[in-house]
A and B are shown apart, each in its own frame.
Chain A
């Protein structure tokens, strides 16, 4: 699984990134977590509000920081 956290490096983006890393670790899923800070790359996903969560090319979230459970649910649902 390829997970990308999109955002120019603001506080919300850091929060999302650590939530995602945390979820991947607890669930024991084989995934890479990458941060995308380049504006052109962010825009190429059609994302207009950061932070955004992209998993295997699909945008799952944009413009808000989800809570721990929601992140876990999204990743768990795809990991099976």
Chain B
């Protein structure tokens, strides 16, 4: 019996074999990344000084980030096939405020969604009787503490910063949801939302491992296809900053000595729309130039958690006053975390 026949006879094992082989290739590329660019940029092309360091930064960082993203997005998408918003909603239905906010924030991390699903999720949760504050904890945690952000932070700043970002992101989601719940703002939800009668008619079967892996592959293609322009632009700007901006330029305007650096970073970050992949290479370069860590992380949180397009979408279900409260509560939380970070690190 040939190998092909034997593997075909065991269809359950074949997807695992492919994933294993891909993982080995990945590890090889990851290890080779720095070595290859060291040789090519400095030895073969003979680039030196600012240009050399900028070009090296760009190529090395692009390689590293694309590899990290591929692995993490794949793993997260496969894990995600085990979690559905329907199950999450059922878990949150009878929860009390407080503990419920914590559960919602945790589940928000495990149930990522694209920003165009924020409104259907909101309606689905609220119309099924999940309290407003708990729904908000979910909606805040999900975009802010996502796998892309955590892994990129790990790659750029080390695991301590990644874990701290995750922890503080969860705290913001829990506290902001708790505050919004306590304020009793249900009357500022657009009234038609509460009248939606949903019949769940989803026909779903337990997916096989091959299907879960196929979902992972599809997700890698979709996400990389979507983020690469942001990513390349951010790394290019980062490389330019790395090579040419004088060491003390940012420190003079937004360094640790400027007490307003954090709120300014947050206000600048809110209207910007990007994802973690487009922000983190940029803040890595800014951090290298002496910006405080809390300042750049607050900027990241503001960009990913509070974006203008998402606010415009949420306006469909939230009255302007509730939307304003939402932005204010989350914004204040991010500023507080920024100061705290600057104090700790």
Cross-chain contact of A63 among B113, B200, B203 (Cβ < 8 A): B113
The interface bits of chain A over 23-66 (1 if a CB of B lies within 8 angstroms of the residue's CB, else 0) are 00000000000000001101111111110001001111011110
In the complex, which of the residues A13, A40, A42 has the most CB atoms of chain B within 10 Å of its own CB atom?
Answer: A40
Whether B124 lies near A43 (C-beta < 8 A) is yes
- B198 — nearest CB in chain A belongs to which residue? A46
- A9 — nearest CB in chain B belongs to which residue? B116
Whether B199 lies near A44 (C-beta < 8 A) is yes
Known: A39-B123, A48-B86. A58 touches B116 (CB 8 A): no
Instruction: Kindly state the separation between the CA atoms of A59 and B203 in the bound complex, as whole angstroms.
Output: 6
Whether A39 lies near B119 (C-beta < 8 A) is yes
Indicate whether B242 reaches chain A with its CB closer than 8 angstroms: no
- A66 — nearest CB in chain B belongs to which residue? B218
CB within 8 Å of A: which B288-336 residues: 313, 316-317
List of B residues within 8 angstroms of A50 by Cβ = 114, 116-117, 120
Report A66 CB to chain B, min CB distance, Å: 8
List of A residues within 8 angstroms of B198 by Cβ = 43-46
Report A18 CB to chain B, min CB distance, Å: 15
Known: A65-B218, A65-B222. A44 touches B120 (CB 8 A): no
Known: A46-B201, A48-B85. A67 touches B218 (CB 8 A): yes
Report A28 CB to chain B, min CB distance, Å: 24
- Interface of B, secondary structure class, is helix
Indicate whether B127 reaches chain A with its CB closer than 8 angstroms: yes
List of B residues within 8 angstroms of A39 by Cβ = 119-120, 123, 316-317
In the complex, which of the residues B120, B123, B199, B202 has the most CB atoms of chain A within 10 Å of its own CB atom?
Answer: B120
List of B residues within 8 angstroms of A62 by Cβ = 202
Indicate whether B35 reaches chain A with its CB closer than 8 angstroms: no
Known: A40-B196, A43-B124. A49 touches B113 (CB 8 A): yes
Indicate whether B121 reaches chain A with its CB closer than 8 angstroms: yes
List of B residues within 8 angstroms of A10 by Cβ = 114, 116
Indicate whether B56 reaches chain A with its CB closer than 8 angstroms: no
Known: A46-B201, A59-B201. A64 touches B119 (CB 8 A): no
Indicate whether B197 reaches chain A with its CB closer than 8 angstroms: yes
List of A residues within 8 angstroms of B85 by Cβ = 48-49, 63
CB within 8 Å of A: which B203-243 residues: 203, 214-215, 218, 222
What are 11 sample pairs from A and B whose C-beta atoms fall under 8 A apart? A8-B313, A10-B116, A39-B120, A39-B317, A40-B196, A45-B199, A47-B124, A48-B117, A49-B85, A49-B114, A58-B201
